[in-house]
Amino acid sequence: MSIATPPAESDLAIGDRATAHWRAIQAAVTVSLQPVISIHSGRCVGFEALLRGYDRLGYASASGLLDAAHGLGVLLDLEQLLLERALDLFTGGPDHREQKLFLNIDARSLPEARPLAALITRMLRASGLNPVNLVIEVSERHPVADLSQVAPALSVLRQAAGGIGLDDFGAGYSGLPLLYSAQPDYIKIDRFFIANAEQDTRKRAFLTHLVTLAHLLGVQVIAEGVESDREYMLCRDAGCDLVQGFGISRPLSSLSDIAPIHDGVRILNARDRRNRESDIKLVSAQIEVIPPLSDTASLDEAFERLRTGSTTFLPVVSALGEPLGLLREKDLKAYVYSPFGKDLLSNKVYGRGPRHFLWPCPTAEVSARAEKILEIFSSDEESEGIILTEDGRYAGFLSARSLLRILNEKNLAVARDQNPLTKLPGNAVINDHLTEALADRDTAYTIAYIDFDFFKPFNDSYGFRQGDRAITLYADILRKDLPRDLCFIGHVGGDDFFASIRQAECADAVKLVRHTLDRFCEEVESFYDEDSRRRGYILGKDREGKDVRLPLLRASAGVLHISSGQSIGSIDEVSGIFARLKKQAKASASGMAVAKLGPPGSGDLCCPEAAPATPA
């Protein structure tokens, strides 16, 4: 018996089915806009267009619909549909001419960059918008077949749009090679590096270093998927420029009532009272306000500015005042000194402008710490200096000489209060930090006062030089073993130290302090002679001259955990709490006493080995 083979489906039938599916896509697909907010001011910088309605077609995600469109050969048609609907929604906002639309395109559309760029140009003109109002985002979620083709494709798209962004950065296929090839204006840090980062030091390290790398390249950083106030503060502390996510705003289907300033972010920033004024004053005093050159200016204007000005470069900005890079005189020389070079450059048909000769320049916000600005600058050996921005817009320029002046002033200010033995901050800086921590009610702090037990007999037996070695040993342990991004350490004087740990659970912070005590106790034994180490004590005299056994040196700590939302009236009140805690710590076998100031009913004790102390 033979089995009949069914006839193949005709091309016509397949085409009819594809046409029907495309019509279903057109009927179902909608767009929502999620606000992208300046982390510095709360200003609504723009909106990301998000594809919606895919679930009505039976797809579990937007990626599923894009895959289907690619399979049907209508991916470019879908890109056009999404841009049309996003522009209709975006132009309904009251401030859209001062804002940006962040539009994702599928990486598989890059081979069609020229027709896509022509389409974008036509649609922007029809909507009455400038290229500066659009940022094209390319996701890492799909592999890029040939990275060597990315730069030419994005160069074509950059002429149609005001900027290029990399979406889902760090969680896709291409990572740093794509960052190198694409030369983007924005990167969006994937939520993977933000979720639970307050408890994950490795995630915080990745986030901080990605932000620093981006700023070194003159790229703005958007933190996406931010869902809580704590995640927002984490991104702010890491140096991110912009933020979006459900914790900031859900996607919107209308922009008619959108406010230019996001109240939630403004309030969060106002509550964060950690003092940055001293660095802002230092930096502001050294800013050189070099008038920027518009990216639409003619090269004749650029030549004239360079000829009559005092610098060999010009900062170039967009129509919205955002820095794009530097136009350097030496980059134009090859053209200027070639036959007919200047005539060729100024020829409108030739079509060259400042954007074609941009040199990437490191950027930083005016409000950034002086050390962070210097770190960004020093990572680029060819940099002329660093562009400073205020809320993402050009504010001025810092030359290498200006940076050295800032660093010198900063070092002098630190040295005035620095402990000469350990080089740690002294009492004035400690008190400033404590005042700021007590005012910051939105962040949990764990504060520790540490001093040595049995230090006098050790000094009497081995001399002050060994005593100084013990003090510097503990200072080095604090520096090495406490996470730098979350901790402040200081030297009160003598054998008294201060440590403050931010955004940590009480038990986790106590473990960190416990570790420093145990390590000190273990390492300081090497300062004793062999007989004393073997016995576990030294022989000494009491006040009456009798022989006594004196325990080996150890450190003890009083620890106070202040939960977020709680407050203490003054530093004097804190001092009273620590007077009791230190007395308990010295009497404890563990060398620790821990109190917790938390919500009512939470209890005072957060360290099982230590007796509680009542904070009130």
Confidence (pLDDT) at 483: 87
Tens-digit pLDDT profile for residues 194-225: 998 877 878 888 898 899 899 988 899 999 99
Burial 238-262, CB ≥16 within 10 A → b, else e: bbbbbbbbebbbebbeebeebeeeb
Rounded mean pLDDT of 492-513?
93
Coil, strand, or helix at residue 297? coil
Highest mean pLDDT among 253-267, 400-414, 503-517: 503-517
CATH 3.20.20.450 residue ranges of the chain are 21-270
CATH 3.10.580.10 residue ranges of the chain are 281-408
Torsion of CA 469, 475, 479, 483, to 10 degrees: 140
CATH 3.30.70.270 residue ranges of the chain are 419-527+535-597
Which CATH code, of 3.40.50.620, 3.30.750.24, 3.40.50.300, 3.20.20.450, is assigned to 21-270?
Answer: 3.20.20.450
Whether the per-residue pLDDT at 348 is higher than 70: the answer is no
CATH 3.30.70.270 corresponds to the domain 419-527+535-597: yes
Compute the mean pLDDT over every residue in the chain, rounded to the nearest whole number. 85
Tokens coding 428: 């004035």
Rounded mean pLDDT of 504-514?
93
Model confidence pTM above 0.75: no
Weakest-pLDDT range from 31-40, 69-78, 155-164, 408-417 = 408-417
Confidence (pLDDT) at 130: 93
Tens-digit pLDDT profile for residues 141-173: 666 656 777 888 998 999 899 899 998 887 665
Tens-digit pLDDT profile for residues 433-461: 888 888 877 788 999 999 999 998 899 88
Whether the per-residue pLDDT at 607 is higher than 70: the answer is no
Q: CB–CB of 581/449 below 8 Å?
A: yes
Confidence (pLDDT) at 439: 81
Tens-digit pLDDT profile for residues 251-263: 999 998 888 888 8
Tokens coding 105: 């395109």
CATH 3.30.70.2190 corresponds to the domain 281-408: no
Tens-digit pLDDT profile for residues 235-251: 988 889 999 999 999 99
* CA nearest neighbour of 363 among 221, 543, 226, 166: 221
- Give the model's confidence band at 140: pLDDT under 50 very low, under 70 low, under 90 confident, else very high: low
Confidence (pLDDT) at 612: 41
Share of the chain above pLDDT 70, in %: 88
CA atoms of 86 and 83, how far apart (whole Å): 5
Confidence (pLDDT) at 580: 93
Confidence (pLDDT) at 466: 95
Rounded mean pLDDT of 60-75?
91
Share of the chain above pLDDT 90, in %: 50
